Structure 1
């Protein structure tokens, strides 16, 4: 006789089966970009790290766009995709920036507080969002984490202009400022839901990629 728990177990899909879901493929592609960003941050090739960080945002936006346009996705597909996206976000927008700050600060103990604050703010921000969602149909409470990477890769253009010591301070203060905005009560629009913003991000991503690829030559 088959018990109810055995029936439930039989109905559960294989874990790896969710990899074939196209939005999840986009999410994992973004994670791959983040791993590259972390790797290049650690070895000090910061321009390559910036390329990885901005492409992580591009794939993050793409998974939502694809998910909204796909038909036939089940409730479990959507729940799994949402959870996968949140887990990847903490790596892309929390761990990667924290490692970038530590690396550029030459792993000085002075950079440990800002790295912790950046990562903690990201975890708190994502936990709050997973609990309460949007404040209305199109606005977040606090600055959405994807904006952090967009700002970091823009700020890093100054790295070749300002003296290293001055730029370290700029990066330090920027990290603290973004973390404060992430957990603030300000209302910010959901940029990734607007097709015009998706086009602008694509243009920005290609532009940033071109700038830093040129700097790497």
Structure 2
């Protein structure tokens, strides 16, 4: 079977499969379940890079890892949020255009990152310290908050506005500092709070 098989890719694959389950949940009417899947995918993404760094990989394995990570991210943080929004805004013709723009911006952002990351790894072995443009993975934190606010206000357009703002930020030439250990801990705590709130019934259509 083609591909590169070792433990460094397992978490990436798991996150992608969770996101696919989230898409199925959303289309079957369980939007809250889809948002929970989005958060869980974010947890997988948070740790897959750390696991990959524990193994000495060949150049081909590293490049393969970059590609599958971005492809997984596109499904998890590009397609899934757009599908969630569709299930909230099925009667809104305007949302179709917002979703198209969001998915396109996520695709461009991830492709641009891949090119830059390959060039950076050719020039240095140092770890990345900043990102250019808002990382699409931030959807795992921002989208659940937007969903809860939207559902509590019973105004689905709030979700559309949040999605549009994120799409713009994906492509803005701004530098975003990569979270350190403390930052990752704060993100993890925030994600855990969101997950608990959703599971106990806060928010939801």
Task: Point out where structure 2 has 5 or more consecutive residues left out of the alignment.
Answer: 121-126
Structure 2 equivalent of residue 175 of structure 1: 163
Match of 1:88 among 72, 87, 94: 72
Counterparts in 2 of 1:87 and 1:126: CA distance versus 1, 3 Å: same
Structure 2 equivalent of residue 186 of structure 1: 174
CA distance in 1, matches of 2:37, 2:149: 18
Query: Are the aligned partners of 1:47 and 1:215 in contact in 2 as well (CA < 8 Å)?
Result: no
Question: What is the TM-score of this pair, normalised by structure 2?
Answer: 0.86
Query: Are the aligned partners of 1:93 and 1:149 in contact in 2 as well (CA < 8 Å)?
Result: yes
TM-superposed CA distance for 1:169, in Å, is 1.5
Q: Mapping of 1:6-45 within 5 angstroms? A: 14-15=1-2, 18-19=4-5, 21-45=6-30
**Secondary structure at the counterpart of residue 215 of structure 1:** coil
TM-superposed CA distance for 1:99, in Å, is 0.9
Number of positions where the alignment pairs a residue of Structure 1 with one of Structure 2: 195
Deviates more, 1:27-36 or 1:37-46: 37-46
Q: Mapping of 1:71-86 within 5 angstroms? A: 71-86=55-70
Match of 1:200 among 186, 194, 202: 186
Query: Are the aligned partners of 2:89 and 2:157 in contact in 1 as well (CA < 8 Å)?
Result: no
Measured against aligned partners, the alpha-carbon deviations of 1:151-195 in whole angstroms (never above 9, x if no partner) come to: 0111222244212xxx2111111111100000011111123xx22
**Secondary structure at the counterpart of residue 200 of structure 1:** helix
Structure 1 equivalent of residue 112 of structure 2: 128
CA distance in 1, matches of 2:91, 2:18: 22
Segments of 4+ in structure 1 off by > 6 A? none
Task: Point out where structure 1 has 5 or more consecutive residues left out of the alignment.
Answer: 1-13
**Secondary structure at the counterpart of residue 15 of structure 1:** coil
Counterparts in 2 of 1:72 and 1:46: CA distance versus 1, 3 Å: same
Measured against aligned partners, the alpha-carbon deviations of 1:113-143 in whole angstroms (never above 9, x if no partner) come to: 0110010000111111112237x94111110
Q: Mapping of 1:141-180 within 5 angstroms? A: 141-163=132-154, 167-180=155-168
Structure 2 equivalent of residue 214 of structure 1: 200
Computed over aligned residues only, the root mean square deviation of the Cα atoms, in angstroms, reads 2.1
Deviates more, 1:104-113 or 1:177-186: 104-113
Query: Are the aligned partners of 2:150 and 2:158 in contact in 1 as well (CA < 8 Å)?
Result: no
**Secondary structure at the counterpart of residue 188 of structure 1:** strand
Structure 2 equivalent of residue 101 of structure 1: 85
CA distance in 2, matches of 1:111, 1:146: 21
